[in-house]
Amino acid sequence: ALFAVLSRDVLSPGLAGLAISYSLNITQVIGMFVRTLTDVETNIISVERILEYTEVEQEKNYHQDYGKPSRQWPKKGEIKFESYSTRYRQGLDLVL
């Protein structure tokens, strides 16, 4: 737009309008280019993370066989709460 104003004596109104139109299109193209570059960078980072995960060593098996419990081991368990009360924080009302 500044170019069109400074060159108003040299340019015809049609060419000035065309220059302004192209300058507006260029800003849109630059915005799309920047957006595309950020999308590509995001995708590349995702691929890098996947490659890092493929290089992580497999963890050992969590399950360990301890055998059967001894005969003295209880068959079932239970917890009894008698005369129990609690509060979230000192100074607050009891919740249980």
State both tokens at 71: 């005969």
State both tokens at 16: 């000035």
- For 8-62, the pLDDT digits (tens) are 777 777 877 887 888 888 888 999 999 999 999 999 999 999 999 999 998 887 7
Amino acid at 13: P
Cα-to-chain-centroid distance, residue 59: 26
- For 70-83, the pLDDT digits (tens) are 888 888 888 888 99
3-state secondary structure the chain: CHHHHHCCCCCCHHHHHHHHHHHHHHHHHHHHHHHHHHHHHHHHHHHHHHHHHHCCCCCCCCCCCCCCCCCCCCCCCCCCCCCCCCCCCCCCCCCC
pTM beyond 0.95, yes or no:
no
pLDDT at 6 over 70: no
Output 93 or 7, whichever has higher pLDDT: 93
State both tokens at 64: 């360990």
pLDDT at 4 over 80: no
pLDDT at 96 over 90: no
